[in-house]
Structure 1
Amino acid sequence: MLDLELMSILLPALAAGVLVLSTHVVLGRQVLKRGIIFIDLAIAQVAALGAIVAHLDHNIEALPFSHVWMPALFALAGAGFIAWLSKRMAGELEAIIGCFYVLAAVAAMLLLSNDPHGAELLKQLMSGQILWVGWSQLLLPALVYSGVLALICWRPRILDGAGFYLLFALVITLSVELVGVYLVFSTLILPALALNKYRGSFSWVLAYGVGLSGYLIGLLLSASFDLPSGAAIVAALAVSALLFRLGLAKAAPVGVSQTSVS
Structure 2
Amino acid sequence: MSLAVLAACSTPVKPPPPTPPPPVVETMMPRPPMGAVENMSIPEMEDGQYLTPNRKVTSNTALWHVRMALNVAALSCRSAADLPRLQYNRLLHVHGPLLTKANEAVDRNYTVAYGRPGLSARERLNTVVYNFFSLPPVTKSFCPVAERVGAKLLAMPSSALLDYAPEALAELEKPFQDFYAAYADYLRRLAEWQSRFGASVTVVVSPTPLPPPPVPPGEAPPQGFSPSITSAIQQNLPPPPDAPAKPPVAPAQPGAPSQPSAAGPKLMIQPLPTNQE
Normalising TM by the smaller chain, what interval?
under 0.3
Task: Tell me which of the two structures has the higher relative contact order, counting C-alpha pairs closer than 8 angstroms and 6 or more residues apart.
Answer: 2
TM-score (norm 2): 0.23
- Say which structure is richer in helix: 1
Q: Give 1 or 2 for the bigger CA radius of gyration.
A: 2
TM-score if structure 1 supplies the norm length?
Answer: 0.24
